Chain A
Amino acid sequence: MTRARRWAGLTYVAPLVVFLTALFLVPLVELLRLSFSPVDSYNTALPGFTLDQYKRVFTEPYFYGSLLETLATALLVATLCVLLAYPAAYVLARRAPGTMRTLLFVIVISPLLTSVVVRTYGWVVLLSGNGVVNRLLVATGLRDEPARLLTSYPSVVIAVTHVLLPFAIIPLTTALGGLDHNLHRASQTLGAGPVRTFLRVTVPLSLPGVVTGALIVFALAMGIYITPLLVGGVTQPLAGIRVYDQVETVFNYPVAAALSFALLALTLLSTTLLAGGFRIWERRLHG
């Protein structure tokens, strides 16, 4: 490859760099600057520099509590997604190509191809006062009267898990599909049953897929706000919803910006820590 050709790559990337600088980097920098702005009594941003917004975010339980709650929720959702993704991905990866496999695959990616509003709205219908879930609960005698499922924390966890589950299934399917089937046969020839083979061979070898899926789901769950807002309402103690609330009802942009960057920092920090932790675990497992 000639020198000129090497650099030619850069010209192809130039439009993207211009686009992302103008619409992504510059707005983020502006937002960062806004988070250090003082506000007047009408929450209008003033010129100057202050750490007040960050002080509020880290001292008022309304804000820092929401950050901790978001972290706990994201960890819970990531765990649930991995647990639910495993059987689905296993079936999907082992199935021979054909109509059934295509159908299952369409089911897996169908949530990705429908608007998040549509998916969430489906849950609103399912969980509403006279929805299917409540009717089942009453009909089976588990409850005497319909439960208030919407606007509850469990419903938020269920809906967010549903929305993010495909992001865990896809990498896991890829990882499981790439496993050498001879390893299974070897394990079984040496006397291990399918269950033991699964636990001692399949699961350890699929860990990279598990890790990728868990990290993606975790990062997305940290910033999700439309789904919990629709299912759980504006009072849910999640950071994304608090940011939205500051913007739409309180009109305090600087505090919204400060909370956003606290959320971003927390997301980056915990993702890095999780990735590091997983790497150590994998290394220990594979010697």
Chain B
Amino acid sequence: MAERRRRFGYDRAVGLLGGACAAAVFLFLIAPLVVLVVSSFNRDASMAFPPSGLSLRWYAEVLGSPDWQVSFRLSGILVLMVVPTTVVIGTLAAYGLAQGSFPGRRLLQGLALSPLMVPEIITALGLLYYFHGVGLINSVPGLWLAHSLVALPFVVRAVMVSAANLDPALERAATSLGAGRVRVFFTVTLPLLRPGIIAGAILAAVTSLGEVAVTALVAGANTTTVPLRIFSAVQYQLDPSMAAVSTLLMAASVVVMVIADRFARISEAL
């Protein structure tokens, strides 16, 4: 009995220790983000933590700055361009890859996901050199294509999860009832793929909103997205206005995610 009690105590201690480790890891994950949000409300121009007093002056400064306004507009426009592009191309591809059994399917699947496997600096350098040749450096179309390239594999992967679970009998039933192929796709297939498409759209939006690795090389003075402006500013100065922008950017991602979570489980797509 005593032996059992001692073992129970030992196991409990180990369990508590594991729990404490997990808590430390969660704290590690969230700490930098929390610090940023709190610093953005600082009254003074220092990044001291905890802040000496609270104010919204950095938000007023950022939202009133023409430079930042241009960046916010550009980032918004890019999301609106990148999401439809990647969702259309990615959904069609994921459906074809999951349903078809043509030769070379595995190879194409590898190709579709390959931008994820290549180090980001190489994708960036490749696009930089290529865009120089075709005059797309420092242009909105250039960034649109670059962000679409980075976001596309996430969409393909997200939609493939839904497409793999698709029951072909449903499409066959619709066909046998007289629906044409196009009608089947739009009235049967697409609604069934909806969770994957929504998850993919969110990932594409968040990717485009936060992209820096490729943007840093292919953008220019006229096409500074919000994260790129943070990137160049942080290298030279530290003041709470950057924390305010970062918080706004985070808030944008959280809004996108909360909306999406009502429709789809993002966790499955990652």
- A, B bound: yes
A residues within 8 Å of B by Cβ?
1, 5-13, 15-17, 19-20, 23-24, 26-28, 30-31, 34, 84-85, 87-88, 90-91, 104-105, 107-126, 128, 130-132, 135, 162, 165-166, 170, 193-195, 219, 222-226, 230, 239-240, 243-244, 247, 253, 256-257, 260-261, 263-264, 267
Asked if B100 and A10 make an inter-chain contact with CB atoms under 8 angstroms apart, the answer reads: yes
CB closest chain-B residue, reference A108: B29
B179 at the interface (CB under 8 A from A): no
A selection of 8 A-B contacts at a CB cut-off of 8 Å is A12-B92, A30-B129, A132-B35, A226-B212, A226-B216, A243-B125, A244-B216, A247-B128
Nearest opposing residue in chain A for B34, CB measure: A122
Name the 6 nearest CB pairs between A and B, nearest first. Answer: A9-B100, A223-B119, A122-B32, A12-B96, A115-B210, A27-B126
Secondary structure at the B interface, as helix, strand, loop or mixed, is: helix
Indicate with 1 or 0, residue by residue over B8-33, a CB within 8 angstroms of chain A CB atoms. Answer: 00110011001101100110111111
On whether the beta carbons of B46 and A130 are closer than 8 Å, the reply is yes
A121 touches B230 (CB 8 A): yes
Q: A193 and B108: CB pair below 8 A?
A: no
Residue of B nearest to A264 (CB): B122
Is B259's CB within 8 Å of the partner chain A? no
A117 touches B122 (CB 8 A): no
User: A199 CB to closest chain B CB, in angstroms?
Assistant: 10
Distance A121 CA – B97 CA, assembled complex (angstroms): 39
CB-CB contacts below 8 Å: B92-116 with A: 92-93, 95-97, 99-102, 105, 108, 111-112, 114-115
Q: Is the CB of A27 within 8 A of B130?
A: yes
Are A109 and B216 CB-contacts (below 8 A) given A6-B101, A10-B102, A225-B120?
no
Q: Which residue of B lies closest to A241 (CB)?
A: B121
Q: A-facing mask of B22-63, CB < 8 A → 1, else 0?
A: 100110111111011001000000111100000000000000
- Most B CB within 10 A of own CB, among A16, A223, A230: A16
Contacts of A263 in B (CB 8 A): 119, 121-122
User: Within the assembled complex, what's the spacing in Å between the Cα atoms of A120 and B227?
Assistant: 11
What sequence of 0s and 1s flags, for each residue 69-92 of chain B, a beta carbon within 8 Å of any chain A beta carbon? Answer: 000000000000000000011101
Given A17-B111, A126-B35, A162-B32, A224–B120 Cβ distance below 8 Å? yes
The chain A residue with its CB closest to the CB of B29 is: A107
Q: Is B138 an interface residue (CB 8 A)?
A: no
Instruction: Give the chain A neighbours of B168 by CB distance below 8 A.
Output: 1
Alpha-carbon distance A90/B149, docked complex (angstroms): 34
Chain B residues near A239 (CB-CB < 8 A) = 121
Query: Which B residues from 168 to 183 make CB contacts under 8 A with A?
Result: 168, 181
Complex alpha-carbon distance, A129 and B100, angstroms: 58
What's the least CB distance linking A278 to chain B, in Å?
Answer: 17
Q: Please measure, in the bound complex, the distance between the C-alpha atom of A31 and the C-alpha atom of B256, giving whole angstroms.
A: 36
1/0 contact string of B109-150 vs chain A (CB within 8 Å)? 001101101111111011111100100000000000110110
Given the complex of chains A and B, what is the CA–CA distance between A204 and B38 in angstroms?
A: 42
The answer to whether residues A88 and B25 also contact, given A122-B31, A219-B117, A263-B121 and a CB cut-off of 8 A, is yes
Known: A13-B93, A118-B250, A240-B120. 19 other contacts (CB 8 A): A1-B168, A9-B97, A12-B93, A13-B92, A13-B97, A16-B156, A23-B146, A85-B25, A107-B29, A113-B210, A114-B249, A117-B246, A118-B230, A162-B29, A226-B231, A240-B121, A253-B125, A260-B122, A264-B118
Q: Is the CB–CB distance between A88 and B22 below 8 Å?
A: yes
Q: Taking the complex as formed, is B257 at the interface, i.e. its CB lies under 8 A from any CB of chain A?
A: yes
> Could you tell me the distance between the alpha carbons of A120 and B211 in the complex, rounded to whole angstroms?
13
Find out whether the CB atom of A15 lies under 8 angstroms from the CB atom of B243: no
Task: Say whether B22 contacts A87, CB under 8 Å.
Answer: yes
A154 → chain B, closest Cβ, in Å? Answer: 14
